[in-house]
Structure 1
Amino acid sequence: MKKILLLALCCFINYASFSQIIYEEFKSDKLGETRRLKIQLPRNYETNTEKKYPIVLVLDADYLFEPVAGNVDYFSYWEDMPESIVVGIMQGNTRYEDCAYDDKTFMPGQKGASFFEFIGTELIPYIDKKYRTAKFIVGVGHDFTANFLNYYLFKDPPLLNGYINLSPDMAPMMEERLATRIPQIPGKIFYYLATGSDDIKGLMEAAEDLNTQLKDVKSKSFNYYYDNFDGATHYSLGGRGIPNALEKMFSVYRPISKKEFTEVLLKTDTPISQYLLDKYKVIEDLFGITNNIRVNDFIATATAAEKRKQWESLREIATLAKKQYPETVLGPYYLGRYYEEIGEPKKAMKIFQGAFDKEEVDFITIDKMLDKADKIKTDFGY
């Protein structure tokens, strides 16, 4: 029994150390009251002291926080999205007042106007000051709060970069306004809209109408995604929409997949080394974070360069890998392969031999490197 209790305690401590959930009471001058916040920091926030993180802002955090935070943690663990700070605003019975709009302009009115200012001029600056944040914010809302997120598209520049709209209860004229406004926004916007076949009828029809308008928006900077889940109700669609939205919005961040390798790397007109650099430049520009190139992406692009006989690209990839992962065999292996292919076997042999004290990576082992060196030595009689 003691062992079971000890194991349970260890698991709890381990989970708590990973999840880092923080509750805060935030006194708002704009609202004239205190609001309860729920914040999840990334798993390694305390140890990665130089790293900055995007913000995922969750309205209706009383019930949306856990599914959003759980998915953010899961996707970031597998590097399908950047680690992010999840900030939830507990609204409870205030959600209708928070999202109120003027009866004539249909823009935030009364307390809704104060709540709009609270998020933009108090909460986000506070989070930016207290935590290490990157300049990329995704908002998540459901019905009334989903509609409310859209108001930030009318700021210059918009407060949010990404909008996850789960069965939005649209204010009058919102559909037309969005279709007109979005092409005027120069920066990249990621917009996800979801409904379900068993959603509230009026909301489902409104979502379908909005989709009809947004899917035809002409803008290179507008990234739009839509789901109508078969059998999903007004409340169950969130469980399917949240992961879909995160996966689609952050698709460029993901490691190079088999599909990307086959359909893009093996066919692109861009030199493969440049494709790799461009991919990480887009990640830096979009999400405001600078990461080392993943080992997976080095191997994928180097393999593609070999298959397409782009030897200069292979040299550039190897040089970059050697710089970013100097303790591993990654750079030396592909640099050796480069010299093999351009007809300088002696250089290749010395590079393979010189990597005997490096760390192995994936299929690139020390034995493989030394075997290649021995084969060159035998073939050329060095």
Structure 2
Amino acid sequence: MKNALLLTILMLTTSIGWTQSKIIYEEFESVKLDQTRKLKIQLPRDYEENTEKNYPIVLVLDANYLFEPVAGNVDYFSYWEDMPESIVIGIMQGDDRYDDCGYDDITFFPEDRSADFFEFIGLELMPYVDQNFRTAQFVIAVGHDFSANYLNYFLFKDPPLFNGYICLSPDLAPLMDERLPERIPEINSKIYYYLGTGTDDIQDLMQISEELNEILSPLSSDNFEYYYDNFDGATHYSLVGRGIPSALEKIFQVYRPISKREFDEVLLKLDTPVHQYLVDKYSTIKELFGIDNDVRINDFIATGTAAEKLKQWESLKAIADMARKQYPDTVLGDYFLARYYEEMGQPKRAMRTYQGAYNKEEVDFITVDLMLDKAEKIKEDFGY
């Protein structure tokens, strides 16, 4: 009995492990730093199964305490498809953070050890990650106070090393507030920049963030997506727990499934073809994040329903054709195609399309019974 119980526990533990993200600990021999650096790496849940899939990178400085909140949120958001599954790379710094993220007293740019750390990230670590893991060409970096300021230096690299910057309560170097508004308009690539503080943050740092927000807000443009939060009651450390999910939600908003709000406030107000909105959404995802995703069933249903409400029948047919191609074993595309035939005055074709889906997989509200009921109603109405 005891052995049977142990076996059951082992099997349960193993099965749970299959569905969890994988954590890897590595020691990286850095030539630039002339020392070994410890890395903590979280791989996505399906990394070993989906061998053709590439993943964005989330690089975490101060990983001694930032890795877990970042990795946990990345895993949670990606599980619900609010962001792409991503590889999280954490650099363990500890007390080295002050040397790693320091700057020259005259130029206020990295010097000596901090310049070496800059090259370690750009010339050693990131190439190593790209060579040893399946990466998409989209990288977000996360930092807090000293390391948040340090992230800004990568904006002065041409092109910038990172696509996204999550700066939590940055302890800015002198002149950084003057240099950023000069540099940012010169950057030609798409940049996502998140700045977070709290009302109970260290007073000087909260003031720095508030003043920086006033400087960066006017710079928001098609190339510079800027976001800011000042969390009520958040301290210097508790703001991390609120800033990370807020930043990920904002940066990846275009990636998320179409929400009810997007349906009501965007789709139903379109004066352009609804199917083009769907095509553009996934083209943008591919362009920004380097990910060639299939269209979600949720997004087919949302755009198909919107096309019906707006009476965009040709757009509905285009959505039906895409859905039939992508999900041929489901009723999804057949339903919208049949609705198109109904509105085009082709009841017999609509009836046959509804009937043809009797042995296919149901999707959301589109059940086999619904399809057959619609076919039967057409049959009764037209005497077929």
TM-score range, shorter chain: over 0.9
- Tell me the equivalent position of 1:305: 307
**Retained in 1: the 8 A contact 2:274–2:306?**
yes
- Tell me the equivalent position of 1:332: 334
Decide whether aligned partners of structure 1 residues 58 and 377 sit closer, same or farther in structure 2, where only a CA change above 3 A counts: same
- Tell me the equivalent position of 1:364: 366
- Tell me the equivalent position of 2:174: 172
Deviations 1:104-128 (A, max 9, x none): 1111111000000010111111111
Matches within 5 A, 1:143-292: 143-217=145-219, 219-292=221-294
Q: 56, 59, 77: which one pairs with 1:57?
A: 59
**Retained in 1: the 8 A contact 2:24–2:40?**
yes
Matches within 5 A, 1:23-102: 23-102=25-104
Deviations 1:248-302 (A, max 9, x none): 1100000000000000000012210000000001100000000100000000000
Q: Secondary structure, in 3 states, of the residue corresponding to 1:165? A: strand
Opposite residue 257 of structure 1, the aligned amino acid is: S
Give the whole-Å Cα distance in 2 for the aligned partners of 1:128 and 1:141: 21
Give the whole-Å Cα distance in 2 for the aligned partners of 1:363 and 1:254: 21
Shift of 1:371: 1.1
Runs (5+) with no aligned partner, structure 2: none
**Retained in 2: the 8 A contact 1:136–1:160?**
yes
Decide whether aligned partners of structure 1 residues 375 and 21 sit closer, same or farther in structure 2, where only a CA change above 3 A counts: same
Opposite residue 158 of structure 2, the aligned amino acid is: D
Shift of 1:219: 2.9
**Matched pairs, number:** 382
Opposite residue 189 of structure 1, the aligned amino acid is: I
Q: Secondary structure, in 3 states, of the residue corresponding to 1:81? A: coil
Matches within 5 A, 1:313-328: 313-328=315-330
Runs (5+) with no aligned partner, structure 1: none
Q: Tell whether 2:129 aligns with 1:124.
A: no
- Tell me the equivalent position of 1:293: 295
Opposite residue 333 of structure 1, the aligned amino acid is: Y
Shift of 1:355: 1.1
Give the whole-Å Cα distance in 2 for the aligned partners of 1:192 and 1:264: 24
**Retained in 2: the 8 A contact 1:183–1:219?**
no
Give the whole-Å Cα distance in 2 for the aligned partners of 1:7 and 1:229: 45
Give the whole-Å Cα distance in 2 for the aligned partners of 1:5 and 1:207: 54
Give the whole-Å Cα distance in 2 for the aligned partners of 1:127 and 1:236: 30
Decide whether aligned partners of structure 1 residues 266 and 224 sit closer, same or farther in structure 2, where only a CA change above 3 A counts: same
Deviations 1:204-259 (A, max 9, x none): 11111100100111532111111111111111110000000000110000000000
**Retained in 2: the 8 A contact 1:280–1:293?**
yes
- Tell me the equivalent position of 1:113: 115
Give the whole-Å Cα distance in 1 for the aligned partners of 2:338 and 2:8: 49
Give the whole-Å Cα distance in 1 for the aligned partners of 2:171 and 2:8: 46
- Tell me the equivalent position of 2:352: 350
Give the whole-Å Cα distance in 2 for the aligned partners of 1:342 and 1:52: 42
Decide whether aligned partners of structure 1 residues 159 and 356 sit closer, same or farther in structure 2, where only a CA change above 3 A counts: same
User: What is the TM-score with the length of structure 1 in the denominator?
Assistant: 0.97
Q: Name whichever of 106-115 and 5-14 sits farther off.
A: 5-14
**Retained in 2: the 8 A contact 1:186–1:221?**
yes
Q: Secondary structure, in 3 states, of the residue corresponding to 1:332? A: helix
Give the whole-Å Cα distance in 2 for the aligned partners of 1:248 and 1:6: 44
Decide whether aligned partners of structure 1 residues 210 and 14 sit closer, same or farther in structure 2, where only a CA change above 3 A counts: farther
Decide whether aligned partners of structure 1 residues 35 and 15 sit closer, same or farther in structure 2, where only a CA change above 3 A counts: farther
CA RMSD of aligned residues (A): 1.4
Q: Secondary structure, in 3 states, of the residue corresponding to 1:100? A: coil
Opposite residue 70 of structure 1, the aligned amino acid is: G
Q: Name whichever of 265-274 and 9-18 sits farther off.
A: 9-18
Decide whether aligned partners of structure 1 residues 7 and 98 sit closer, same or farther in structure 2, where only a CA change above 3 A counts: farther
Give the whole-Å Cα distance in 2 for the aligned partners of 1:80 and 1:358: 28
Shift of 1:16: 4.0
**Retained in 2: the 8 A contact 1:352–1:373?**
yes
Give the whole-Å Cα distance in 2 for the aligned partners of 1:173 and 1:6: 62
Q: Secondary structure, in 3 states, of the residue corresponding to 2:177? A: helix
Decide whether aligned partners of structure 1 residues 12 and 210 sit closer, same or farther in structure 2, where only a CA change above 3 A counts: farther
